Structure 1
Amino acid sequence: MTEPARLHVSAKFPALLEQIDTLGESIDAAADRAEELGGPAEEIAEALLAAGVVRAGLPRDLGGDEFSPRQLLRTIERLSYHDAAIGWTMLALQLMTGTTAAYLGSVAAAELFPDVPAGEHALLSGHGTRPGRAVPVPGGYLVSGHWQFASGMALATHIHSAIQVEDTGEPRVLAMPKSAVTLVDNWHVLGLRATSSIDYHCADVYVPETHTYPATTMRPANGGAIYRVGLVNMAAIVHTGWALGAGRRLLDELRSYAARKSGAPGAAVDTAQFHAEFANAEAKLRAAGAWALQVWRDNERTLDADELLSTEQETLLRLALNHATWTAQDIGQTVHRWAATTAIRRGPIDRFLRDLRTGSQHITSGPVVLQNCGKWLSGAQPGAHWEFLDLVP
């Protein structure tokens, strides 16, 4: 009888959090420069990659550290606390590189991940929700398309993209060299400026079938139980961590602001109204974080039992992400209201507010997903299941 694929909990998790915190001051000091560059400062990116932020999401049997869901969530939470744009960049690279390594077979894995412990492996960026066209040809596909929001592209070596196979309509995900696409330098935005989330396109590029996988798969070719959650749910893990980290940093910045302003004549931060709103914000953020960890604790038990997540569990993890994102957005509103002119001048509060407002527009926290969660939880669509972000009969 085959032993169940147990969930791996990495012993390297505490050390990685410590390394991230050690880099915190350097990350913060480089933030304005990163916005001007449109991507992370080179020395910061190199330090985080060397520390193992991306390796945390890679399968153990390929040499990765394969963190558990809650470990991944808390890693991105901690990183996003220091800089929301750095957190977003690294969550994208970690997600796309890790899932590519997990779901592609031996041929592609040998090419893209020859020596993970030594840092010799591909880094992937791209877009996974709007598919390009894939025309079947002997051995693979001719791929064409235009994709957006390729966060982390400045650091990537390869492209991760959704495609739809012509005739069958099958959704797949590909991996191909970055040199195969044309990059469009058009990331001129309000927030997350330092994520290089640019567009890219290609026409009739040959991609071997070995370098593609079914987009809805929950059967990893490499790695353990965590990868049975599937690509979209892996994204929910890291995006939840991002929202919680950004929200916590803003609330801590407001606390520091209040300490500086307290005692000044007519200081608004000395009023009972400020104290009440701060307490309310603290409660909301702590509750969102606690519930997200509770949801993923339950999911981890299921994965550790060698089972797939139920529709109820998939619904709750999506709802926990939505709740964390919009709770963080509410925190931002509170910070903006009480930080006065500090909130509109260049600095951490201004940057995090802009980054949070931009990040909350991600499709995984959009209104349609929330509506679908409500359909399931209210009993309006019994017997349904999730395909990507849609609840289908």
Structure 2
Amino acid sequence: MSESPRLHTAGTTLLERARDLRPLIEREAGAAEAQGMLTTPVVDALHEAGLFGVWVPEPLGGAESSPRELLDVFAELSYADPSTGWVVMATTLENGTAGAYLGDDAVERIFTGPRMPLIAGQGTRPGVAVPENGGFRLSGRWSFASGMLHSQYAHSLGAIEGTGEERIFITPIEDVKPLGNWDVLGLRATGSIDYAIEGAFVPASQSHVFDLNEPLRGGAIYRLGLLDQALICHTGWALGVGRRLLDELSRHAGARAGRPGQIAGSDAFHADFARAEAGFRAAAALVRETWDDVERTLDSGRTLDVRQETMVRLALNHITSTLAGVARFVYASGGTSTLRDGLVQRLFRDVHAGTQHITSGPQVLRECGRELAGLAQGQSWVIFTLED
């Protein structure tokens, strides 16, 4: 357990470094999409900037950023390229929570060397873990392992045979059988393949209970637990990609100002753009308000109550659905120029891949509405549902 209940803050250094990398990330985005994973220059630059340590506990040499700081970093990287933002948010979530929750022996094995480890995998649809002396034998098959092609370790959900207890298991990438098949509409550069593990031995110290919310090292952010921390990832991603789409449409319209028949001279477009900006800014404001409240709670040493758990889910759901609407508006407003291969087309495809994620699905929205309407008295959040 952390020695201090207070929330650690890292400052703006990593955000500034992320912003400085934007030209490189933008130049490499096309090549990354073509090869199905980020390019070596981008991965190297992210390491050199310390961005893969943005979530790692400070005692392990990481930045241990606060939720608001993480939102800003992920938004900045996702603005430059949605796939880059996605890889960084996914791997840093998993190396951050590994650093906070794994046993000392595991941390000594994993968090060594000149670079932060990259951990990628899947926390749904558990495999089976059979207890064995000093650990478990893990087997299973998982889908959509965000950033797997960049990782040195896998993060996989497994259910203990005999008890059903769900735990996260961290295994070396050598124990992973990649299944490929990243044949998707968007986010093609994330290397988010399916994979299998067949009877790999996992020492007990390289696993932790899925819903653990008391860290062995690090501060108050890790009291959110794995699921609520994952919501930070997808929220920051949506903030960055939505902002980029609206900025690109503004540039597109401005470049055509003065030409007959262009959207720059359309009153209807002006009004629609204003509505899109207002809607996106309002959704972003809800995100900021919600996570400001979370930070105050964490800094006071408390954990989130049910209403706060509802609001972090609702804020993500709302910014994600708003982003989907922004993407449709920008794509339609761009006319035939967005139909062709290019930045806006790629952003449109990436959005419609990212919005399929389970964290912002319709079930979550329904449950949020039920709690907000006072129809879930005495119930608590268990992943994406409210239960007694």
- Whether TM exceeds 0.5 here: the answer is yes
Match of 1:29 among 16, 27, 30: 27
Aligned-pair distance for 1:268? Answer: 2.6
Rounded Cα–Cα distance in structure 1 between residues aligned with 2:263 and 2:132? 67
Paired AA for residue 69 in structure 1: P
Which position in structure 1 is the counterpart of 2:329?
334
Q: Which residue of 1 aligns with 2:67?
A: 69
Which string of whole-angstrom CA distances, capped at 9 and with x for unpartnered residues, describes residues 41-71 of structure 1?
1101110121121211000111111000000
Partners of 2:143 and 2:218 in 1: CA distance: 29
Deviations along 1:203-241, one digit per CA (max 9) or x if unpaired, are 211111111100011111111000000101111011100
Amino acid corresponding to residue 105 of structure 2 in structure 1: V
Tell me the CA shift for residue 3 of structure 1.
7.0
Residue pairs, 1:70-89, within 5 angstroms: 70-89=68-87
| Count of paired positions | 387
Contact 1:4/1:305 (<8 A) preserved: no
The one-letter amino acid paired with 1:264 is R
- Cα distance between partner residues in 2 of 1:3 and 1:155: 33
- TM-score when scaled to structure 2? 0.97
- Counterpart-to-counterpart distance in 2, 1:15 and 1:379: 42
Q: Deviation above 6 Å: which 4+ runs of structure 1? A: none
User: Do 2:84 and 2:190's aligned partners in 1 also have CA atoms closer than 8 Å?
Assistant: yes
Residues 273 and 346 (structure 1), Cα distance of their counterparts in 2 relative to 1, 3 Å cut: same
Describe how 1:282-361 pairs up with structure 2 within 5 A: 282-361=277-356
Partner Cα distance (1:199, 1:158) in 2: 14
Q: State the one-letter code of the partner of 1:168.
A: T
Aligned sequence identity (%): 44
- Matching residue's letter, 1:76: F
Aligned twin of 2:228: 233
What does residue 158 of structure 1 align with? 153
C-alpha distance in structure 2 between counterparts of 1:357 and 1:3, whole Å: 42
Is contact 1:216-1:387 (8 Å) kept? Answer: no
Q: Which residue of 2 aligns with 1:7?
A: 7
Letter matched to residue 30 of structure 2:
D
- RMSD of the TM alignment (CA)? 1.2
2:168 aligned with 1:173: yes
Determine the structure 2 residue equivalent to 1:50.
48
Q: How many angstroms apart in 2 are the aligned matches of 1:254 and 1:137?
A: 57
Secondary structure of 1:302 counterpart: helix
Distance, in Å, in 2 between the alignment partners of 1:242 and 1:308 is 25
1:318-346 CA-to-partner distances (Å, cap 9, x unmatched) read 10001111111111111011100111111
Q: Which residue of 2 aligns with 1:379?
A: 374
- Write the distance in 1 (CA, Å) between the matches of 2:249 and 2:281: 16
Provide the rounded CA distance (Å) in 2 between the counterparts of 1:111 and 1:305: 33
8 A contact 2:149–2:193 mirrored in 1? no
1:311, distance to aligned residue in structure 2 (A): 0.9
Question: Separation in 2 of the partners of 1:225 and 1:309?
Answer: 11
Residue 347 of structure 1 deviates from its aligned partner by 1.2
Determine the C-alpha separation between the residues in 2 that align with 1:130 and 1:285: 33
Partner Cα distance (1:378, 1:169) in 2: 33
In the alignment, structure 1 residue 259 sits paired with structure 2 residue 254: yes
User: Is the 8 Å Cα contact of residues 4 and 219 (structure 2) preserved in structure 1?
Assistant: no
Query: Which residue type is aligned with residue 329 of structure 1?
Result: A
Letter in 2 for 1:32: G
CA distance in 2: counterparts of 1:30 and 1:63, whole angstroms:
28
User: Matches of 2:217 and 2:54 in 1, distance apart?
Assistant: 14
State how far apart, in whole Å, the 2-side matches of 1:287 and 1:91 are. 23
- Select the residue among 270, 278, 282 that pairs with 2:273: 278
Match of 1:19 in 2: 17
Counterpart pick for 1:106 among 104, 107, 114: 104
Per-residue deviation, 1:15: 2.3
CA distance in 1, matches of 2:120, 2:3: 34
Show the counterpart of 2:206.
211
Shift of 1:4: 4.4
Of residues 121, 125, 128 in structure 1, which corresponds to 2:123?
Answer: 128
Bigger drift between 82-91 and 379-388 goes to 379-388
Letter in 1 for 2:295: E
In structure 1, C-alpha distance between the alignment counterparts of 2:59 and 2:86, rounded to whole Å = 26
Residue 367 of structure 1, CA deviation = 0.8
Deviation of the 1:114 alpha carbon: 2.9
SS at match of 1:150: coil
